[in-house]
Amino acid sequence: MPPPQPDPEPPPIHRLLELIKSEPNPATALSHLELLVYTRPAFPTPQPLIFHLLRRLATSSPSHLTRLLGLLPRMRHRPRFSESAALVVLSAFSRALMPDAALATFRNLPSLLGCNPGIRSHNALLDAFVRARRFSDADAFFASLSHGAFGRRLAPNLQTYNIILRSLCARGDVDRAVSLFGSLRRRGVAPDRVTYSTLMSGLAKHDRLGNALDLLDEMPNCGVQADAVCYNALLSGCFKNGKFEKAMRVWEQLVMDPGASPNRATYKVMLDGLCKLGRFKEAGEVWSRMVANNHQPDTVTYGILIHGLCQSGDVDGAARVYSEMVKARLVLDVAVYNSLIKGFCEAGRTGEAWKFWDSTGFSGIRDVTTYNIMMKGLFDGGMVNEATELLGQLENDASCSPDKVTFGTLIHGLCENGFVNKAFEILEDARTSGKELDVFSYSSMINRFCKDGRTDDANKFLSGDLESLLKAIMIKEWR
């Protein structure tokens, strides 16, 4: 047996430092730092180098931050950081929905980073609880703020209240949100645009649109300039509640406001809302303004317009918008194609729908919804063989598989086209093989049996005597 080989000599310190700095993958750079600390524990690793790696991990690999934080106590010459480093870590954990990691770091900031948590660190942990929808933890932590951490008493600031307002609105407790908002000035805190937009959005989402609109009118009197985020929240609320006239008033106010202007999100809200309400003339005007103001439409914006035009039956208009997308060399997603396929099928132009279907195949972007839409369109057009062939194609598609909508569409389509026995065979095969079926599949079968006067078969189906029903159907088919 050969003698064991000694461990290879680690790279020299200067080489490890170079690797940490130059390595493009922050997780790999962290591995180089771990090697440096484990093999050279007495070496004082430069604090700026650690902070730079901390920021890189926070941006792209927050799950690896715990490794770096666990490495710091192993350093003989432990670096000290300001609260800015704590904010980088806590904010990263908050965005990554890792509230427990944020809490553990917060509790150990003095030993890990050599700094005490100020109000900004408290706000970052509070935000982590709210983003993760740990509302009871957020409430308890907010209530304890006056006691502070590590013996320090801290007063909540505007950011603290904005986070709590977001928490209350997210859980639908808008009455408490309104009450807290009303108490801010008594607490010596002046609301800002974030405060207003947060409450506006919460009110609009929970059917308090009138109160949200009142806040917009209040803002100038309180010296707060509304921005696009405020207007977007109100526009979304107006369209959600079907309030076309109010939405247009808010839109006109935004257009005339010298301190605010529509952004890309505004145009998406407007186009989506107007198309859903069938207001295509106004949607066209908004589109023209968007282009004139150098807000170039993207795939999502085009998709909203195409979907709306297809829903209204203007498939030729939708096809023209599609051609514009192709000319602009935009990446077309499956949602655009699904809208076009559905629109042309519903317009009775199945042949043209096939062309878009083929495009999804060439692009490799078909999903199960594409199959379901095309299948329904073929059944509606009486193309039963082509529709049933899609099931086999779907079952052989490695990127997706049939769902309950697929079987519901297939069974209903077969029943409507007079192939009830075939429909039952597919239903029974799906049921016995453990496929998920919805009530639409079963109701389609029962409805067709009854329409055909086959009440005995319907009763067997309802009673669950599917085996005898299947035998009866097979005998009928054989005869």
Taking the chain, what is the end-to-end CA distance rounded to the nearest angstrom? 78
pLDDT at residue 464 tops 70? no
The 3-state DSSP class for residue 299 equals helix
Contact 442, 472 (CB under 8 A): no
3-state SS assignment for residue 117 = coil
* Mean pLDDT score across all residues of the chain: 89
Res 3: pLDDT? 54
Instruction: Please write the tens of the pLDDT for every residue from 318-335.
Output: 999 999 999 988 888 999
Q: What digits encode the pLDDT tens for the residues 99-118?
A: 999 999 999 999 999 999 99
pLDDT of residue 426: 87
Q: What is the pTM of this model?
A: 0.78
Q: Is residue 467 over pLDDT 60?
A: no
Most confident of 17-21, 192-196, 433-437: 192-196
Q: Is residue 213 within 8 Å of 234, Cβ to Cβ?
A: yes
pLDDT digits (tens, 9 = 90+) for 218-267: 999 999 999 999 999 999 999 998 999 999 999 999 999 999 999 999 99
pLDDT of residue 370: 95
The contacts of residue 84 (CB under 8 Å, 6+ apart) are none
Between 354 and 438, residue with greater pLDDT: 354
DSSP H stretches of helix in 313-454: 315-327, 334-346, 350-363, 368-380, 384-395, 404-416, 420-432, 439-451
Given a cut of 60, whether residue 466 has pLDDT beyond it is no
Query: Given pLDDT bands bounded at 50, 70 and 90, which one contains residue 203?
Result: very high
pLDDT above 60: residue 471: no
Domain boundaries, the chain: 403-479
Residues 6+ away with beta carbon under 8 Å from 62:
92, 93, 95, 96, 98
Q: Is the pLDDT of residue 152 over 70?
A: no
